[in-house]
Structure 1
Amino acid sequence: MTAATIDKNATLKPSFANALAHFLPITIFPFMFAAAYFGGWWILAPYLFFLSVGGPLDRAFGMDARNMDPQLKHSRQLIWYSFPVWIWAFLWPCIFVFTLWQIFIVGSHSIFESILLGFMLGFEGQAIFIVGHELIHRRSKWERYIGEFLLASGSYPHYATEHFYIHHAHVGTPFDVGSAPKGQSLWQYFPRELRSNITGAWATASARMRRMKRPLWHFSNPFWRYGIETAAWYVIVFAIGGWIAVVIYMLLCLLAVFSMKISNYFQHYGLTRVRLPNGRYERVRPHHSWSANYRYSKWMFFNMQRHADHHVSDTRVYPLLQHHAADKSPQLPDTYSGLMIEAMMPKRWFAKMDPLVDQWRSEFYPDIKDWSAYDSSIAKKHPEAFDKIAEIFAAAPRLAQVIERNPQMLEILQKREFTELELPVGFGADTESERIARTGLVRVYWMHDMNLTEMKAQLDEMPVHDADDAAQIIHDWMNDKVFQVGMHTLRGNLTPTESGLVLANIAEASLSALFNAVLDDYTEFARQSRTGSLAVLVLGDFAARQMAPRTNFDIRFVCEADSQNYYASMSRRFVEVLGTLTKDNLLFEPFDVGEDEPIIIARHELANRISSNEGERDSDEQKLVFARCIFTDGDPKFDKRLSEQRHKAILKSSAKPMVPDGRFQTAEAQDPIILHDSAELRLDQIKQAANYLHLCQYSQLSQLDINADAQSVFQQAQAQQLITKDLADQLVEITLLWNNLCGILKLVFDDSRDIINAADTVKTTVAKSCGMPDFAGLIEAVRQADASTDRFVLELVSVADSAAGPDPDETTANTD
């Protein structure tokens, strides 16, 4: 019978005979002594010993799933299991000093032999973290101090604090850098782990000193011991071999630490404790660590492979550690030595381990479909904000990418402006009353208190050096506001249509502030006095105050003819700083400074362009009809004069077919449920029809701003009895549906077609933003809207075409 066939259900009894196998690790010391003393072929002996641990004997001896009864922790027989640990802890410093003495003081070895002896110390030195780790978990203080001293021989004594108080407390959560998330390579993991170990240990020790009301330099601070212990080792090394020995020693320490970190990397790779609704993480279970059960490694590494049970019972001595089967703890697919090699090759590692992580997730957490927040790098960087990170990842893949690239965005959600609008769960009589209170509070703030005037006032109060400085400050202010509005939209506190108005205010306030900064710069440095007046017009959805993320905004500059040169030069400077404003901007698409030249229009040309009947669908003539002024310079009444001029020009041209025939014919049928382009097409059709109606019935709709949104046009048309109330209500409803759908898709996705493979939580967010209870309801609503859009558009065109021509006196009015 081979060792591999021993009954796995058998129970081991603590005894000297059963403890003998654990004395194997100390049998290497005679070989190391002989190698250091005699040199020559004796150096080969320790290396053969190291190779035995490399996997062959693991496979030869097979598995051993037998456990001791953990209730036997008071058995006197357990002392036999402590002897090999204590002996190793005693022999390691002796053989270390002896080998250095032989290399540097006796000097009887060749350079080649000395190098091999140095590597011998490095390989065996990896075991200081196995023995030291066992000892720092012991209850007796003297054993813990010996463990610290061993760790100090690897220049890593602070591991005693970090490992026990941070790793064990937070294993499997974003708070533990030592728990590598799925997709993180060893080479990404190692430097972060080194850095966080020292900073985390210091922060923990400092916090303990503060709680005990002691100064940091109090003798009870463990860093005093760590410093003295580590210094003692360096003094010994320097005394024996000088600076050369110190450099070699540091490299050997790095090798030992690296080896320890590889095993730490794969012991928890991809395994995550789930965040509970109460804000806490679930308790540590055996399935939060990878296990292995090779018999030979069990003897050589003091049961280190039984890592799952070690985290469940962190003070349990190694012989009592339990093996957990695959239904309780995931099993590593290879020996420790084999995985240490594979971990250094990320592609091979991910190919082997990621499917096992996915299998673990489906087995232990079948109800969780989306693990993206747990796998994200930002969760590791900002574990304190995990709830909000998970909320964003579950609802908006685009915003998830934004916070991954710009982690500082999370700080915005800690500001009072945002937190004061967050009402606690359970404050109301029921969930519906809570929802109404939340939405009401957010809408009052963003649509009334934080209006355009208030936004401009905030920006005006910010000190800036020049236009470039202003562009960066305004950029940060914009992203701050846009991100908050986006979060409120995801939560349903603002509809995408409502947020479109808020975003338009943010955009207008930002561009106005930037233009003021450019004007101040230009006036001072250009040494030219201002002449004439200027108006800055915005076109498209910006003009209608219906914006969404990733907007390509379009602007025109209108000025008096005699000031064109002055303002042309100044507007080019404005376009330059727009590059800074729109880079990594959450609202605007990047502005191409090299290609986007400013368009300057003389005032007297504006009327001619508007009244032209040669404009096509997306021509400047068409866009200028519905443009809106967001900034003026010079004559404060210049905007009013432009409006009056445009009013006369529209009256002059309203009888002419500015909209070509066939404009509203639907393109080849597409599925608007999935393709955002289809939703945009339908929304565009509705807007075009509203604009056409507005122009053709301009005299009856003159109370409306020419750049009013489509809903306002339909409501005013119904008030003027141009269309029935039933048709107006249906048009408003369908417009809001298309507008909300386009707005939320732009907020949630970079490419709206990603909704095909989106998580259910994302689809639910999209549906609720459109006023639907679920995604199935949204699908049905969109199908009905898609089927009726053409009919509504044709009705509007029919109403518009029934308009009578304008008053002849008005059409001959002087447009100047």
Structure 2
Amino acid sequence: MSTHVNSQSGQTLPPEQWRDKKRYLWLLGLVPPTAVFIAVGLVALFNSLGWNAVSPVWWWIGPLLVYILLPILDIFFGPDGENPPDEVMERLENDKYYRYCTYIYIPFQLASLVLACYLWSATDLSWLGIDGGLGLISKIGLAISIGCVAGIGINTAHELGHKKDDLERWLSKITLAQSFYGHFYIEHNRGHHVRVATPEDPASSRFGESFWTFLPRSVWGSLRSSWSLEKARLDRLGKKPWTIRNDVLHSWLMSVVLFGVLVAVFGLSVLPFLVLQAVFGFCLLETVNYLEHYGLKRRRLDSGRYERAAPEHSWNSDHICTNIFLYHLQRHSDHHANPTRRYQTLRSMDGAPNLPSGYASMIMLAYVPPLWRKVMDPKVLAHYGGDITRVNVQPSKRDRILARYGAA
């Protein structure tokens, strides 16, 4: 019988004694969708103490969490360093507690959106200690915070959308409705996972490509790809693409219904903020896409096909705090090797290149291209032994990049 080494104590444990130390930490994934409720309480508290000038800061609780708190926690707590042993994988996979942790995200996400619509449209917030309604800056901060909920919600949808259970796939589409990014359900599963780390994949960033160049390419490319994939599927069934059976149209319709209901209840004034939170939400997703495969490339075989995706084709990070909030998304190589594997069983894999910090920290770096290139370009080159010809290079910069790094 094989054993498992406890990463902290160094003691050897038999599989039947192994326990998931993160089991109840996964409930911290509910912090983002409840953050706006926390913000409301903090605003009321600060106003009651007479700190009215400071209280509006809490409407920006989403970016405070994503861009400040999580990177600090990642640095403080560092990498996880523990994988579940093979013998417990089936038991861990079938433990329904873990899927309930993802299911419960969704009602809190929708409740936060409804609360935000009320706050955007309210003209009397005296119960919060506010004269009249929220100011424009506070409304924008609230929209960005709700956008963070939507963006992290796309990751929840990502976890659910890979599963074979019909309920989970429906929940995935419902979760994507807030960000108006329902086509991600099609493109990610049937497009990205097939073309990952190749020049043909719109969601795989290229060496020398800034995030700001990648963003429109990935958004537009993913949309086109999802439509093409659904059209091809319906063609095989002898059906036209303009049908409710088209999953792209079906997903977008769910967003239209959601936005329509909210506008009908709270008024047209909430529409600009609904659009802003949706755009910020899917841009947050695309930032993570940018991190995950930057410069990595699968070899093209003599047959013309690409080699199978392997651990070396995804950037990983095992920093425990961001992994808790993103359901082990940073163990990305194992996810691509086993797309239907549930998050609690994903493992940190040997041979996978690692980012210098967690995704939350790297997102900030991606927004500043010179800093990103200074940190990541040497890591890409080191991963390929200095051979720039093995790198997925931005076509518009190919000649310049080959001239600079070709000699290496």
Place the TM-score, normalised by the shorter chain, in its bin.
Answer: 0.7 to 0.9
**1:49 CA drift (Å):** 4.9
Alpha-carbon separation, structure 2, partners of 1:147 and 1:105: 31
Query: Which of 194, 209, 234 does residue 184 from structure 1 map onto?
Result: 209
Q: Which residues of 2 match residues 379-398 of structure 1 at below 5 A?
A: none
Alpha-carbon spacing, 1:170–1:187, altered in 2? closer, same or farther (3 Å): same
2:234 and 2:11 map into 1 onto residues whose CA distance is: 47
Q: Which residue of 1 aligns with 2:368?
A: 345
- Report the AA paired with residue 167 of structure 2: W
Which blocks of at least 5 consecutive residues in structure 1 are unaligned?
380-392, 402-753, 761-816
Distance 1:120 1:274 in 2: 41
Q: Is it true that 1:317 corresponds to 2:335 in the alignment?
A: no
Alignment-derived partner of residue 62 in structure 1:
78
C-alpha spacing 1:134/1:759, structure 2 compared with 1 (3 Å): same
In 2: Cα distance, 1:261 partner to 1:302 partner: 17
Find the partner of 2:90 among 68, 73, 81. 73
2:395 to 370, 377, 384: 377
Kindly report which structure 2 residues correspond to 1:330-369, keeping only aligned pairs within 5 A, or say none. 330-362=353-385
Aligned to 1:441: none
| TM-score, normalised relative to structure 2 | 0.83
In the TM superposition, what is the alpha-carbon distance from 1:198 to its structure 2 partner? 0.9
Q: Does residue 1:83 correspond to 2:87, yes or no? A: no
Residue number among 25, 29, 32 corresponding to 1:25 in the alignment: 29
Pick the aligned partner of 1:100 from 117, 133, 153.
117
- Aligned match for 1:174, one of 175, 196, 199: 199
Which whole-Å CA distance do the structure 2 matches of 1:90 and 1:119 have between them?
19
* Counterpart pick for 1:216 among 241, 246, 249: 241
1:174-573 equivalence runs, <5 A:
174-325=199-350, 328-362=351-385, 370-371=389-390, 374-377=392-395
Rounded to whole Å, the distance in 2 between the matches of 1:376 and 1:195 is 17
1:499-555 Cα deviation digits (max 9, x unpaired): xxxxxxxxxxxxxxxxxxxxxxxxxxxxxxxxxxxxxxxxxxxxxxxxxxxxxxxxx
Whether contact under 8 Å (2:209, 2:394) holds in the other structure is no
1: CA distance, partners of 2:65 / 2:12: 31
Contact 2:263 2:270 in 1 (8 A): yes
Moved more, 189-198 or 120-129: 120-129
Higher Rg of the two aligned structures: 1
Separation in 1 of the partners of 2:76 and 2:238? 56
Deviation of the 1:294 alpha carbon: 0.8
Give me the identity figure in percent.
24
Trace 1:627-666 onto structure 2 (pairs within 5 A): none
* Equivalent pair of 1:37/1:102 in contact (CA under 8 Å): no
Q: Distance in 1 between matches of 2:10 and 2:323?
A: 17
Matched, 1:121 2:146: yes
Q: Which residue in the other structure is 1:786 paired with?
A: none
Q: Deviations over 1:367-408 (max 9, x none)?
A: x66347x424279xxxxxxxxxxxxx9xxx7xxx9xxxxxxx
Separation in 2 of the partners of 1:141 and 1:8? 42
Amino acid at match of 1:40: A
Q: Does 1:35 align with 2:39?
A: yes
Kindly indicate whether structure 1 or structure 2 has the higher relative contact order, using CA contacts under 8 Å at least 6 residues apart: 2
Residue identity in the other structure for 1:321: L
Amino acid of the residue matched to residue 100 of structure 2? F
Structure 2 gaps of 5+ residues are 1-5, 47-54
For 1:55, what is the secondary structure of its paired residue? helix
* Map of 1:570 onto structure 2: none
> How far apart, CA to CA, are the structure 2 residues paired with 1:13 and 1:281?
42
Count of residues in correspondence between the two structures = 379
Which residue identity does 1:132 align to in structure 2? Answer: A
**Counterpart-to-counterpart distance in 2, 1:38 and 1:104:** 20
Q: Separation in 1 of the partners of 2:407 and 2:32?
A: 55
Q: CA deviation at 1:27?
A: 3.9
The residue that corresponds to 1:158 in the other structure is 183
Deviations 1:169-191, CA, capped at 9 Å, x for gaps: 00011110111111111111111
- One-letter code of the match for 2:393? D
* Cα distance in 2 between the residues matched to 1:33 and 1:40: 11
Please tell me whether the aligned partners of residues 293 and 306 of structure 1 are also in contact (alpha carbons under 8 angstroms).
yes
Mapped partners of 1:197, 1:6: distance in 2: 46
Distance in 2 (CA, whole Å) between partners of 1:357 and 1:321 is: 24
Contact 2:365/2:372 (CA < 8 Å) preserved in 1? yes
CA apart distance, 1:76? 7.2
2:323–2:329 CA contact under 8 A, matched in 1 = yes
The amino acid across from 2:383 in the alignment is W
1:95 alignment partner, SS class: helix
Q: How many angstroms does 1:15 deviate by?
A: 6.0
How far did residue 51 of structure 1 move? 6.1
Contact 2:143 2:276 in 1 (8 A): no
Cα distance in structure 2, aligned partners of 1:32 and 1:758:
50
SS of 2:24's equivalent in the other structure is: helix
Q: Distance in 1 between matches of 2:11 and 2:208?
A: 34
Aligned-residue offset at 1:68: 1.9
- Tell me the residue number matched to 1:763: none
Shift of 1:100: 1.4
Distance of aligned partners of 1:65 and 1:224 in 2 relative to their CA distance in 1, 3 Å threshold = same
Between the aligned partners of 2:288 and 2:22, the Cα distance in structure 1 is: 26
Judged with a 3 Å threshold, the aligned counterparts in structure 2 of structure 1 residues 100 and 287 are, in CA distance, closer, same or farther, namely same
C-alpha contact (below 8 Å) 2:93/2:342 kept by paired residues: no
Work out the CA distance in 2 between the residues paired with 1:122 and 1:245: 14
Which of residues 132, 135, 139 in structure 1 aligns to 2:164?
A: 139
Do the aligned partners of residues 13 and 215 (structure 1) sit closer, same or farther apart at CA in structure 2, a change above 3 Å counting? farther
- Alignment correspondent of 1:746: none
Question: Which residues in structure 2 correspond to 1:713-728 (within 5 Å)?
Answer: none
Q: Counterparts of 2:236 and 2:396 in 1: how far apart (Å)?
A: 30
Q: 1:241 to 1:4 in 2, by over 3 A?
A: farther
What do you get for the CA RMSD once the two structures are aligned? 3.2
Structure 1 758/40 Cα, relative in aligned 2: closer, same or farther at 3 Å?
A: closer
- Native 8 Å contact 1:13 1:68 kept in 2: no
Structure 1 residue 293: Cα displacement: 0.5
In structure 2, what is the Cα distance between the partners aligned to 1:105 and 1:116? 16
Report the AA paired with residue 260 of structure 1. Answer: L
- Is the 2:148–2:281 Cα contact (8 Å) retained in structure 1? yes
Give the distance between the partners of 1:357 and 1:235, measured in 2 at CA.
Answer: 45
Q: CA deviation at 1:120?
A: 2.5
In structure 1, the residue corresponding to 2:267 is in which secondary structure?
helix
Q: Deviations over 1:250-299 (max 9, x none)?
A: 11111111111111101100110011112111111001000101111221
Could you say if the C-alpha distance between residues 269 and 125 of structure 1 is closer, same or farther in structure 2, counting changes exceeding 3 Å? same
Distance of aligned partners of 1:245 and 1:759 in 2 relative to their CA distance in 1, 3 Å threshold:
same
> The residue matched to 1:357 in structure 2 has which SS?
helix
